[in-house]
Amino acid sequence: MKISRVLVEQNYFRFQGIIYVQNEGLAMGTPTSSIFSETYLHYIENTKVFELLLRYKVKGYFRYNDDILIMHKDDRTNIHNMLQDFNRLIPRIKFTLEKEENNKINFLDITIAKNYDSLSFEIYRKPTTTDVIIPNDSYQPKEHKTAAIRYFHNRTRTHKMTSEAQKKRKKKTHYSKS
Instruction: Quote the number of domains for the chain.
Output: 1
Domain-located, residue 29: no
Q: pTM (2 decimals)?
A: 0.68
Domain-located, residue 92: no
What is the domain extent for residue 132?
102-178
Bridge partners for 89 per DSSP: none
Contact assessment for residue 153 and residue 169, using Cβ atoms and an 8 Å cutoff: no
Residue 10 to residue 158: CA distance in whole angstroms: 41
CA distances to 7, 71, 108, 134 from 39, in Å: 15, 24, 21, 30
Mean pLDDT over 142-151 rounds to: 80
> pLDDT tens digits for 46-98?
999 999 999 999 999 999 888 999 999 889 999 999 999 999 998 888 899 99
